[in-house]
Amino acid sequence: MHVLAVDVMSGDSGPDVVIHAVYNMLAKNDDVKVILVGEKKSFSTLLSENPRVEVENASDVVPMNELPSRAIRRRHSSMRRSVEMVAEGRAHVAVSAGNTGCLLGVSHIVLRSAKGVLRPAFASFIPSGKTDGSCMLDLGANIECSAEMLHQFALMGSALVRSVKGINQPRVGLLNVGEENFKGREELRKASELLQNDKRVNFIGNIEGNDIYFGIADVVVCDGFTGNVVLKTTEGVAKMIRGIIADAFRQDWLSRLCGLAAMPVLSKLQRTMDPRRYNGACLLGLRGLVVKSHGNADVRSFEAALGYAISAVRRNINGVIDEVSLPDTPPAAADEEISSLPLAKGNIT
């Protein structure tokens, strides 16, 4: 049995969406158990009889606009309790739709960094051309990244792709504004050098924004600011194009007729392009597994994040990262005050 600790309370959507998604997921996965974490009285009416569902009471909630430095002090929050379930060995993974910076801060305090890891990073698989997706990281855990952090992201991303996709030498690209290695900011130039000199990494050099979606790299490395902007831009463009397509087939009677005729293909297209299918990012580099869902996920979308969490557990993603022999840097002091972390003020939602 794989056990998921699900934070029922955090996020914009409320327990209704989360619990609905959990039951949908359970119906499709026989080998999964769920611990619903939150204030039981606020969702007890939503529960139905299921031996694979357990409730862990948590009296507090981290609001979506909370500062990470304050979030970690809420010791009885559903977010913290969910992550603690993993630390205590009661769950294999925690899933939360809470504020990114807060989830990062809480996870870091509770689970601590894996050996040698400077900073954890959010990673996800993004659709790319004809391949079934590239791993992109960091997607928002670290607003500013040193060359050494970017180097580690490459190692962690490579380990992930090796395990999940069975690719022996995953191609790593560094997201930049030009292919030449003198391009971009100082830390990117330095990271490029580190990657070139590390034989464990199959570094293909700098890649640009338009390369992300063409399967040129199996791992796309960038800082969390850029990764977050890219991810959200992608969502925006896809949504705009879905709108353009829908409008095009609605313009006049001829277009509507075309639309009717093409309905089988169009419906399939809209499903393929549905951004909700790609919800879920894994926090890599901690001594335990945490998956973050979009804050405003709907049922379909939260179900995708749960699915992502299950596959992360099945693939033993964390074990994989532990195996990475990261550069011999002193591990970040895991119990340091969160306010000293760069994410304290610069986190993302």
> Applying CB under 8 A, which residues contact its own copies?
65, 67, 127-129, 140, 143-144, 175, 177-180, 182-185, 189, 208-214, 224-226, 228-241, 243-245, 248-249, 251, 254-255, 257-259, 261-266, 268-269, 272-273, 345-349
Rounded to a whole number of angstroms, the minimum distance from the CB of residue 273 to its own copies is 7
Rounded to a whole number of angstroms, the minimum distance from the CB of residue 257 to its own copies is 8
Identify which of residues 75 and 232 has a Cβ nearer to its own copies in the complex. 232
Identify which of residues 175 and 297 has a Cβ nearer to its own copies in the complex. 175
State how far the alpha carbon of 228 is from the alpha carbons of 26, 281, 291, 327, in Å: 30, 11, 16, 26
Rounded to a whole number of angstroms, the minimum distance from the CB of residue 188 to its own copies is 9
Rounded to a whole number of angstroms, the minimum distance from the CB of residue 230 to its own copies is 5
Q: How many CA atoms lie within 13 A of 120 on its CB side?
A: 33
Identify which of residues 46 and 126 has a Cβ nearer to its own copies in the complex. 126
Q: Specify the DSSP element, H or E, that contains 103.
A: helix 100-111
Identify which of residues 78 and 128 has a Cβ nearer to its own copies in the complex. 128
State how far the alpha carbon of 124 is from the alpha carbons of 7, 9, 312, in Å: 20, 23, 11
d(CA 290, CA 270): 30
Identify which of residues 246 and 333 has a Cβ nearer to its own copies in the complex. 246
Written as six digits, the tokens of 244 are: 């353009």
d(CA 265, CA 349): 35
Report which of 136, 121, 153 is spatially closest to residue 216, judged by C-alpha positions.
136
Rounded to a whole number of angstroms, the minimum distance from the CB of residue 121 to its own copies is 14
